[in-house]
Structure 1
Amino acid sequence: MNIESLQSEVQAHVDRGNYHAAVNIALSGLNACVRQQDQASADQCLNLIEAVVQQLVREFGSQDYIDR
């Protein structure tokens, strides 16, 4: 799996605020890695998904949510 390419594609969608597409692309990458039994790349895909979620929290989370 070309994680750098996947990361660039996910980041491009995040930069445009298209979080749905960003998560879907990262999940598709994760599924491909799991099918290929490539755990290291699967872990990197999980990092991408986590980064998108963190951005969502920063952008849309209330202070109460962030402080928990």
Structure 2
Amino acid sequence: MHRYAFSLHPDEVDLLSQLFEDELDRRHLDRDEGAAEELAAKIFRLYQSGVREIDDLRQKISGS
């Protein structure tokens, strides 16, 4: 399996963190739940795949 370097700028980290926190609140999840970890992974995978707009990210994770 190939691994690729992927780095984030601080503003990107802030964007993804805020989206994650908003979704935790919306879904009434605690950070230590498995569902929260899955959500974080999905957000990151989508971002890595090129989904960069917050509204697009929200739409894609809304069914999770």
Instruction: Pick the TM interval, shorter chain.
Output: 0.3 to 0.5
TM-score by length of 2: 0.40
TM-score by length of 1: 0.38
Greater C-alpha radius of gyration: 1
Point out the structure with the larger helix share.
1
